A = this chain, B = another copy of it.
Amino acid sequence: MATTIKDIARVVGCSPSTVSRALSDHPQINENTKKAIRVVAKKMNFQINQVAAGLRKHKTNCIGVIVPQISNYFFSSILSGIQKVAAQAQYQVFVCETNESVEQEAGYIKSLSAGRTDGILMSLSKTTDTFDHLNDLNRQHIPLVLFDRTSDKVNVDQVEAEDESGAFMAVDYLLKGGSKRIAYLSGPENLRNSKNRLKGYKAALKKHKLSFKNKLVHVCDFNDADIKEAMTELFANNSNIDAVFAANDIMAVEAIQVLKSMQIAVPDQVAVVGFGDYPIARIVEPKLTTVSHNAHSIGINAAKRLFKAIEGVSLDFKEEKISSELIIRDSTR
């Protein structure tokens, strides 16, 4: 068993409270007592049980971050933003991965909210369609801020990219460049971002007085096989497609690979635009034109909101949009 303050008290010959006070550098404790206690604590290799302290103080100085997938560059950039703010606020961050499963999501929510952390930042899994586990948090007064994968069905702070205008910029740029039939590789349909990006796509078509064609839209599940299938299907039935807009860079890069394998020249025959500005966008050939959604800022702002809420400063519930920008490279004309 590990050393406790009781053990130290016994050795030093004082009460546990004195030990507790000495170790947290309470001003009213005699300097010599403090010294003696610190020496013994060190010698006995004492490590404070932060969980017990947290239970008592109702304060952990930890936050939890729940994401669908840690290895996704977008989420890890957001994470680095969050960590930066957390470090400044002297908080530790525990990251949990749901693997796109609502069950895991609910499990982590429970676990983190059950006295482990002072607040939670989270991005919904793509299968999440019930929100009881989130609304529970409200009732428990555990601050929650959603980022990126947000939802209008839950009444909390939300920080997300300007998906609609980002998609609009991308498609508008393609149309200005002369493209007429633009395929859209969408992410999972029930995600709000997917819907918003579709809105932007449609709005750009409208601006250029082109009609929306449903068969140019393919919903993909964020995996390579899916994209390959979608691309093959699109180009089999609509050989006159002249551009592809993908809901993220991974899909866009995969689309480029498929086009190459079909001997279709990018951007001369088909232009490609992605979303996210992942590092891979600068490596693939041709270098990918893409919409940057400023993931780092999403993380920073979401974290700032969370800390405000933890401090009890209740901002009005707000949806915050982080501006996106179009980054033009070589996969478009």
Instruction: Report A's interface with B, CB cutoff 8 A.
Output: 1-2, 45, 47-52, 54-55, 62, 64, 70-71, 73, 76-77, 79-80, 83, 87, 92-97, 99, 104, 107-108, 110-111, 113-116, 136, 139-141, 253, 257, 279-280, 283-285
Contact = CB atoms under 8 A, between A and B. Distances in A.
Q: How many copies does the complex hold?
A: 2
Contact of A71 (B55, B79, B94, B257): B79
A62 B114 CA distance: 13
A87 B96 CA distance: 12
22 contacts: A2-B139, A45-B140, A47-B114, A47-B140, A50-B111, A51-B51, A51-B54, A51-B114, A51-B116, A52-B55, A70-B95, A71-B76, A92-B96, A93-B97, A94-B95, A94-B96, A95-B96, A257-B283, A279-B280, A280-B283, A284-B284, A285-B285
Contacts of A253: 283
A77 B71 contact: yes
A137 to B, nearest CB: 9
Contacts of A93: 96-97
A302 B77 CA distance: 26
A43 B301 CA distance: 35
A51 B115 contact: yes
Contacts of A111: 50, 62, 92
A104 B84 CA distance: 12
B83 A76 contact: no
A8 to B, nearest CB: 15
Contacts of A80: 70-71
Given A94-B96, A283-B257, A115 B49 contact: yes
A296 B117 CA distance: 29
Nearest to A45: B139
Nearest to A77: B71
Contacts of A1: 141
Those 4 A-B pairs whose CB atoms lie nearest each other, nearest first: A51-B115, A71-B76, A50-B114, A94-B94
A31 B83 CA distance: 47
A113 B47 contact: yes
Contacts of A50: 110-111, 114-116
Interface centre among A49, A94, A116 (most CB of B within 10 A): A94
Nearest to A136: B45
Nearest to A2: B140
Interface centre among A47, A55, A62 (most CB of B within 10 A): A47
A330 to B, nearest CB: 13
A108 B92 contact: yes
A97 B93 CA distance: 8
Contacts of A104: 87
Contacts of A108: 92
A80 B283 CA distance: 25
Contacts of A139: 2, 45
